[in-house]
């Protein structure tokens, strides 16, 4: 299979499956479930093929696919993978497969559910594989609609409120992204482009004659960051998350926590950082601070919950804080020259952030699944009424404790690596913030151990629906075992993921430090020659034409 076909098939196989579902008899629910499961499994296999073709020793984007989509706007169907996107693509297809296995608990309107689920998978994979900013934006929005309906139709009692809140938060973020997108587009020189790689080169000052000014970089970064921060979610923008996670059905919670939150981090690494190094450096302290606040706030909020699912939801806020912390620990040695201090710490921070995203994808999906399994049996999630489940469901109890420990960050399990490395890399940036974030680790241990104690340990469960408690069935157990296995593999052998992303992240750090130095170097020089070039050229985002006198219609001198 050619590279073209492979990447496109990964994205659109679920859509083909969704179309295929329409041919089924509405009564054949079991057949439709199995068909959808086969489709997600096939998608997972395809992403494994992708992994086989990927060369981890190479830093740039590989397996590119390029086709015209809307030539008027120079929008292309441009796909590719690198070390940042590949692990997330694998995570997406894995969690989608496991979520599909968990979807047997969804009972009503199966066909609609499965169709939307598969469309959602297309949207998610599209976001991670798109290298054209416009395509990225379209997939970003495409993913929004199925999610809205999946929460709104199949969710819990307050589903409508949760669905609308989720939709509006994300939409508000994405319209801000739209502005940034257009700013880049009009600033990208005479041959305007949405190509993320080209835009990054322009932002880093590696394209002669075109450069986003500091103003554009800072403004665009703030706009983009708000859009992505809503998705992560970062502290002041997180309020949609507890509602959406709690109301969504179990498999959708798994996807929300396992994949959708990663889009925020991915967007920062793929779009906001490379294109706006100046903006990123400008906001770095704020980002780290917000990360630390999210860690602490999420942990305290989780500790205060009595609803099991809400606790897990707030733990996501806390865990995703480490991602932001790791990404943003970019310290300057000399602000005037723009030289970076301890780039290797920053690089390890980005690696840690990426790893934390993957680890959280596994552990939080697992935690939501474990909550869902018990909710299906006892139909409540009140922590104060649980207790002693270990005795009744030993297999479930064991798996659940394992996965919660992975979330806690127990050494040897996946959560540990990401947390500890992002805290370590933060020390170079600011010891104070590093200490505060390390305190988050203790709080995490606190609320998770307390939850484990209240739910699984103690005297035998006497709460509602005691008689309905049955052991896990084979399907549920397989989801649990797979997640726990991945938690252990990642924890014991983190190199499996670090190996994929190392070169790309190293390149990202090099590019961004150079980009920042370039714009510091260029800024005074350009202003010195400004009088010769004429009015408006100094900070002009539109191409500085090779020949400034090239006619009245040349874009650069159209301003009045």
Partner 1 sequence: MTQTFTILLPQTMLAACACLLILGSAFSVRPRRWGGLALAAVAASALCLAYVSSFSADDWAPDAASSVLVDSISIGYQWMCLGLAALFVLLSHEQAATKTSAEFYALLLFMFSGMMLVGSANELILIFLSLELISVPTYVLLYLGRRDPRSQEAALKYFLLSVLSAAVLLYGFSLLYGLAGTTNLDVIRNILAETYSKSDSAQVAAGGSVLGMVALVLIFAGLGFKVAAVPFHFYAPDVYQGTSAYNAGLLAIIPKAAGLVALIRVASETMVGFETSGERVALILAGITMTGGNCLGLLQSNIRRMLAYSSIAHAGYMLIGVAVGFWDSWNGDLSLDAAGGLPGGVGASLLYLFTYSLATVGLFGVLVYLARPGGRQIEHIDDLTGLVRTHPVMATCAALFLFSLAGVPPLPGFWGKLAVFASALSVRGESPGLFVEMHSGFMILAVVGVLNAAVGAVYYLRVVALMFLNDPVSSPQPSGGKPAFAAVCCSAVLLMGVGIFPTPLFTYLNRGVSQIAPATVRSPAGTLEPRPAAIHGHSVIAVQTQHDR
Q: Does residue 431 touch partner 1 according to CB under 8 A?
A: no
State in angstroms the smallest separation of the CB of 379 from partner 1: 21
- Under 8 Å between Cβ of 211 and 202: yes
Cα distance between residue 88 and residue 83, in whole Å: 9
Question: Any residues with CB less than 8 A from the CB of 17 and at least 6 apart, and which?
Answer: 35, 36, 39, 40, 118
- Fill in the per-residue mask, 495 to 534: x = in contact with partner 1 (CB under 8 A), - = not in contact: ----------------------------------------
Q: Using the rule CB under 8 A, which residue among 42, 45, 51, 178 binds partner 1? A: 178
* Cβ closest to partner 1, residue 182 vs residue 438: 182
Write down the least CB distance from residue 46 to partner 1, Å. Answer: 24
Judge contact between 283 and 316, C-beta under 8 A: no
The C-alpha atoms of residue 11 and residue 124 are separated, in whole angstroms, by: 8
41 lies in the site for partner 1, by CB under 8 A: no
Residues 58-77 that bind partner 1 (CB under 8 A): 70-74
The set of residues, in sequence order, having a beta carbon less than 8 Å from that of 541 and lying 6+ positions away, is: 183, 186, 187, 212, 213, 216
Q: Which residues contact 231 (CB under 8 A, 6 or more apart)?
A: 170, 173, 260, 261, 263, 264, 267
Find the shortest distance in angstroms from Cβ 80 to partner 1: 21
- How far, in Å, CA of 55 to CA of 481, rounded? 29
Shortest distance (Å) from residue 373 CB to partner 1: 26
Of 398 and 555, which has the nearer Cβ to partner 1?
Answer: 555
Smallest separation (angstroms) from partner 1 to the CB of 182? 5
Contacts with 454 (C-beta within 8 Å, 6 or more apart), sequence order: 383, 384, 386, 387
**Min dist. Cβ of residue 192 to partner 1 (A):** 7
How many residues touch partner 1 under the rule CB under 8 A: the total is 53
Q: Give the separation between CA 506 and CA 130, rounded to whole angstroms.
A: 21
**Residue 524 CB contacts under 8 Å (≥ 6 apart), including other chains:** none
Nearer to partner 1, 185 or 405 (CB): 185
Segment interacting with partner 1, rule: CB under 8 A, options 186-194, 252-260, 370-378, 501-509: 186-194
Phi-psi region of 333 (alpha: psi -120 to 50; beta: other; left: phi over 0): alpha
CB-wise, 129 or 557, nearer to partner 1? 557
**Residue 247 touches partner 1, criterion: CB under 8 A:** no
Q: Measured from the CB atom, is 179 or 392 closer to partner 1?
A: 179
410 belongs to the binding site for partner 1 (CB under 8 A):
no
Site for partner 1 in 94-153 (CB under 8 A): 137-138, 141-142, 144-145, 148-149, 152-153
CA distance 515 to 280: 11
Query: Least Å distance between CB 193 and partner 1?
Result: 11
Instruction: Name the minimum Å distance from CB 103 to partner 1.
Output: 19
Q: Which of 542, 543, 544, 545 binds partner 1 (CB under 8 A)?
A: 542
Q: Site residues for partner 1, window 356-395 (CB under 8 A)?
A: none
Q: Which of 132, 195, 347, 540 binds partner 1 (CB under 8 A)?
A: 540
Task: Report the nearest approach of partner 1 to the CB of residue 229 (Å).
Answer: 16
Task: Give CA–CA dist 134/195, Å, rounded.
Answer: 8
Q: What is the DSSP string of 443-495?
A: HHHHHHHHHHHHHHSSSPP-STTGGG-----HHHHHHHHHHHHHHHHHHH-TH
Specify the DSSP element, H or E, that contains 62: strand 62-70
Identified binder of partner 1 from the candidate list 5, 186, 333, 395, rule CB under 8 A: 186
Report residue 543 CA to chain centroid gap: 33
CB of residue 185 vs partner 1: minimum separation in angstroms? 7
Residue 222 in contact with partner 1, rule: CB under 8 A: no
Q: Considering only residues 157 through 176, tell me which ones interact with partner 1, judged by CB under 8 A.
A: 159-160, 163-164, 167-168, 171-172, 175-176
Q: How many CA atoms lie within 13 A of 547 on its CB side?
A: 5
| d(C-alpha 422, C-alpha 159), whole Å | 35
Judged by CB, which is closer to partner 1: 462, or 560? 560
Smallest gap, in angstroms, from Cβ of residue 110 to partner 1?
Answer: 16
Ordered DSSP codes for 72-105: GGTEEEEEEE-TTHHHHHHHHHHHHHHHHHHGGG
552 lines the binding site for partner 1 (CB under 8 A)? yes
Q: How many CB atoms are closer than 10 A to CB 9?
A: 16
| Contact residues for partner 1, defined by CB under 8 A | 70-74, 137-138, 141-142, 144-145, 148-149, 152-153, 159-160, 163-164, 167-168, 171-172, 175-176, 178-179, 182-183, 185-187, 190, 192, 213, 215-216, 535-536, 538-542, 549, 552-555, 557-560
């Amino acid at each position: 299979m050619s590279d073209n076909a492979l990447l496109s098939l990964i994205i659109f196989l679920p859509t083909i499956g969704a179309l295929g579902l329409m041919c089924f008899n509405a009564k054949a629910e079991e057949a439709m479930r199995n068909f959808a499961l086969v489709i997600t499994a096939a998608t997972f296999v395809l992403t494994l093929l992708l992994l086989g073709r990927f060369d981890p020793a190479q830093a740039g984007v590989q397996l590119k696919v390029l086709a015209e989509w809307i030539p008027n706007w120079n929008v292309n169907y441009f796909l590719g993978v690198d070390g940042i996107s590949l692990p997330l693509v694998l995570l997406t297809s894995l969690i989608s497969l496991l979520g599909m296995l968990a979807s047997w608990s969804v009972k009503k309107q199966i066909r609609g559910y499965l169709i939307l689920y598969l469309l959602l998978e297309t949207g998610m994979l599209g976001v991670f594989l798109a290298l054209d900013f416009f395509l990225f934006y379209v997939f970003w929005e495409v993913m929004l609609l199925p999610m809205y309906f999946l929460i709104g139709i199949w969710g819990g009692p307050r589903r409508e409120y949760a669905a609308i809140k989720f939709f509006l938060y994300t939409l508000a973020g994405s319209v801000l992204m739209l502005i940034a997108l257009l700013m880049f587009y009009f600033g990208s020189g005479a041959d305007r482009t949405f190509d993320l790689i080209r835009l990054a080169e322009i932002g880093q000052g590696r394209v002669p004659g075109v450069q986003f000014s500091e103003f554009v970089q800072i403004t665009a970064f703030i706009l983009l960051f708000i859009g992505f921060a809503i998705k992560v979610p970062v502290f002041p923008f997180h309020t949609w998350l507890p509602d959406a996670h709690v109301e969504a059905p179990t498999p959708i919670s798994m996807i929300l926590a396992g994949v959708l939150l990663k889009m925020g981090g991915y967007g920062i690494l793929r779009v906001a950082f490379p294109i706006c190094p100046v903006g990123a450096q400008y906001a770095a302290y704020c980002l780290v601070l917000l990360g630390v606040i999210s860690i602490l706030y999420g942990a305290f909020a989780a500790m205060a919950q009595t609803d099991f699912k809400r606790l897990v939801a707030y733990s996501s806020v806390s865990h995703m804080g480490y991602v932001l912390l790791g990404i943003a620990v970019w310290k300057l040695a000399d602000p005037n020259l723009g030289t970076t201090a301890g780039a290797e710490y920053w690089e390890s921070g980005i690696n840690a952030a990426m790893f934390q995203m993957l680890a959280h994808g596994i552990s939080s999906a697992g935690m939501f699944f474990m909550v869902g399994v018990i909710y299906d049996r006892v139909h409540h999630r009140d922590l104060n009424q649980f207790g002693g489940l270990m005795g009744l469901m030993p297999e479930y109890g064991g798996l659940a404790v394992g996965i919660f420990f992975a979330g806690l960050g127990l050494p040897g399990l996946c959560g540990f690596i990401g947390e500890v490395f992002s805290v370590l890399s933060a020390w170079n940036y600011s010891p104070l913030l590093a200490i505060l974030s390390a305190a988050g680790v203790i709080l995490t241990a606190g609320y998770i151990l307390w939850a484990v104690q209240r739910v699984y340990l103690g005297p035998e469960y006497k709460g509602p629906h005691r008689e309905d408690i049955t052991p896990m069935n084979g399907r549920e157990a397989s989801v649990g075992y797979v997640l726990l296995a991945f938690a252990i593999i990642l924890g014991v052998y983190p190199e499996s993921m670090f190996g994929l992303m190392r070169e790309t992240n190293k390149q990202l750090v090099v590019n961004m430090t150079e980009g920042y130095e370039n714009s510091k170097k260029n800024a005074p020089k350009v202003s010195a020659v400004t009088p010769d070039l004429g009015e408006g050229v100094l900070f002009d985002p539109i191409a500085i034409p090779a020949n400034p006198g090239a006619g009245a219609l040349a874009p650069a001198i159209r301003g009045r």
